[in-house]
């Protein structure tokens, strides 16, 4: 098996390290980008993934302390791409979800035993360290002869013509293909090179993140309290750990980050309600400003955008990466179908099909999350009462609750084959 971070893949890489020719070029080797590359290569489509992060930096313990919620649908995508079994042991299942307005006794309780998928009860999702997902993706990339993983590698220019794409690297080489997949994040070079405009707005909130260990078992229960300054989420992990995602007013964040560890832990204990027993801080604390980004379109000539190059939303519903995974599943399907028919994988019909599939779902979810942020970010008594009553009603209407449960799992709407458990 090739060492992560080295060039691995098929014969499209000349032995002298010259220019590379392939079918699909994925710009960005993050969670969405490398999953995209693995999905295509698993289905026999030659692909090059350009990843600018060095494996040595990513291997450091504090390189990325973030965690990610993987929905049931995203797990299906990772499974179809051959990645999931490399990370399954590190995945903490979410078996119950409890959503409360502040600390009201009225709340929504999702129980995984109330819904059957594939003829059996399934977790709503799983919580994993980002570094464990990346390591699983590296391992899978090294297994695929049709995937060339260039890491570290930096793109300096992107050129798209009627016949193909060319990405010039900092080391002087050029990677050519028929389709460019922009998976290079919020500051996407791929998106900017196509002149695609974005809509952005910021919240007066930042997310404080860290991982804790606790003495009482979490039993796979995810808890989210909607507080006036932002939601506070406790997400179950393996080994008596939980991930904390604490959205707070930006003006207060620095104060909390600078608290002595014991005082910070006391604050976590107070906000979580003490059900986890004694807690200790396992990682450093970080804060990430919260904002929304939505590209005006997800395609251009020979270009498709996935993940945060196309959209970034508030983490209130834990759907950030999961939205990107649905992009991956849809784009992989249309590209694989075209490739097997001998069609141009970067042709306008292929890309138009992808945009029709993904645009509405993305805009709708971004609007819903934005509405939830504004709805819950206040303590006006009549509004709070209406919220609490609404949550109580949903909790007592099984058909409505099952719909929301399926939505949390990512299995609502026109689903790609990967999510339905069907081969590409």
Mind listing the domains of the chain with CATH numbers? 19-88+129-200+293-420 (3.50.50.60)
Q: What is the pLDDT of residue 223?
A: 93
Q: Does position 105 have pLDDT exceeding 70, yes or no?
A: no
Q: What are the tokens at 296?
A: 């005006």
- Are 165 and 25 contacting, i.e. CB atoms less than 8 angstroms apart? yes
CA distance 46 to 105: 54
pLDDT tens for 236-264 read 999 999 999 999 999 999 999 999 999 99
C-alpha closest to that of 268 among 254, 279, 283, 257: 279
42-60: average pLDDT: 84
**Helix, strand or coil, per DSSP, at residue 381:** helix
- Are 299 and 352 contacting, i.e. CB atoms less than 8 angstroms apart? yes
Q: Tokens 């899978």 correspond to what residue? A: 140
CA distance 297 to 375: 28
Q: Which has the higher per-residue pLDDT, 201 or 199?
A: 199
97: exposed, middle or buried (Cβ count in 10 Å: 0-12, 13-18, 19+): buried
Q: Which has the higher per-residue pLDDT, 87 or 392?
A: 87
- Residue 59 CA: distances (Å) to CA of 30, 85, 153, 200: 14, 20, 17, 32
285-293: average pLDDT: 93
215-242: average pLDDT: 93
pLDDT tens for 71-89 read 999 999 999 999 999 999 9
Q: What is the pLDDT of residue 138?
A: 93
Q: What is the pLDDT of residue 60?
A: 56
Q: Does position 4 have pLDDT exceeding 50, yes or no?
A: no
Whole-structure pTM value? 0.90
Q: Which has the higher per-residue pLDDT, 11 or 212?
A: 212
Q: What is the pLDDT of residue 5?
A: 37
**Helix, strand or coil, per DSSP, at residue 389:** helix
Q: What is the pLDDT of residue 392?
A: 61
CA distance 72 to 58: 26
pLDDT band at 109; cut points 50, 70, 90:
confident
Q: What are the tokens at 306?
A: 């996935």
pLDDT tens for 120-136 read 889 999 999 999 999 99
Torsion sign, CA atoms 295, 44, 419, 351: positive
Q: What is the mean pLDDT of the chain?
A: 88
Q: Does position 340 have pLDDT exceeding 90, yes or no?
A: yes
Most confident of 54-63, 264-273, 368-377: 264-273
Q: What is the pLDDT of residue 222?
A: 95
84-108: average pLDDT: 86
**Helix, strand or coil, per DSSP, at residue 309:** helix
Q: Does position 12 have pLDDT exceeding 50, yes or no?
A: no
Q: Does position 423 have pLDDT exceeding 50, yes or no?
A: yes
Q: Does position 374 have pLDDT exceeding 90, yes or no?
A: no
């Amino acid at each position: 098996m090739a060492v992560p971070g080295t060039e691995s893949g098929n014969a499209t890489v000349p032995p002298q390290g010259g220019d590379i020719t392939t079918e699909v070029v994925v710009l960005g080797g993050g969670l969405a980008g490398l999953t995209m590359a693995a999905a295509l290569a698993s289905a026999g489509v030659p692909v090059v993934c350009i990843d600018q992060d060095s494996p040595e930096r990513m291997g450091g313990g504090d390189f990325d302390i973030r965690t990610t919620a993987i929905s049931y649908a995203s797990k299906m995508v990772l499974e179809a791409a051959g990645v999931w079994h490399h990370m399954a042991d590190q995945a903490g299942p979410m078996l119950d979800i409890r959503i409360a307005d502040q600390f009201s006794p009225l709340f929504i309780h999702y129980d995984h035993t109330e819904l059957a998928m594939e003829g059996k009860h399934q977790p709503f999702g799983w919580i994993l360290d980002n570094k464990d997902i990346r390591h699983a993706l590296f391992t899978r990339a090294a297994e695929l002869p049709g995937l060339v993983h260039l890491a570290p590698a930096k793109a300096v220019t992107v050129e798209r013509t009627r016949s193909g794409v060319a990405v010039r690297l900092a080391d002087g080489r050029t990677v050519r293909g028929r389709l460019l997949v922009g998976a290079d994040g919020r500051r996407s070079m791929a998106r900017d090179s196509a002149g695609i405009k974005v809509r952005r707005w910021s919240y007066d909130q930042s997310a404080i993140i860290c991982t804790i260990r606790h003495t009482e078992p979490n039993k796979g229960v995810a808890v989210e309290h909607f507080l006036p300054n932002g939601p506070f989420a406790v997400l179950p992990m393996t080994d008596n750990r939980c991930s904390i995602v604490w959205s707070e007013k930006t003006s207060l964040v620095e104060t909390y980050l600078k608290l002595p560890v014991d005082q910070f832990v006391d604050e976590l204990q107070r906000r979580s309600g003490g059900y986890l027993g004694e807690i200790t801080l396992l990682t450093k604390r970080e804060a990430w400003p919260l904002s929304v980004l939505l590209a005006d379109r997800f395609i251009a000539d020979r270009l498709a955008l996935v993940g945060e190059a196309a959209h970034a939303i508030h983490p209130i519903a834990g759907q950030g990466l999961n939205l990107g995974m649905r992009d991956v599943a849809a784009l992989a399907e249309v590209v694989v179908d075209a490739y097997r028919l001998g069609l141009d994988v970067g042709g306008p019909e292929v890309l138009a099909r992808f945009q029709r599939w993904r645009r509405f779902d993305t805009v709708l979810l971004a609007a819903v999350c934005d509405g939830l942020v504004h709805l819950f970010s206040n303590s006006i008594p009549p509004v709070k009462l209406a919220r609490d009553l609404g949550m109580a009603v949903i909790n007592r209407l099984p058909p409505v609750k099952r719909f929301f449960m399926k939505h949390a799992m990512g299995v609502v709407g026109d689903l790609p084959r990967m999510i339905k458990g069907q081969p590409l």
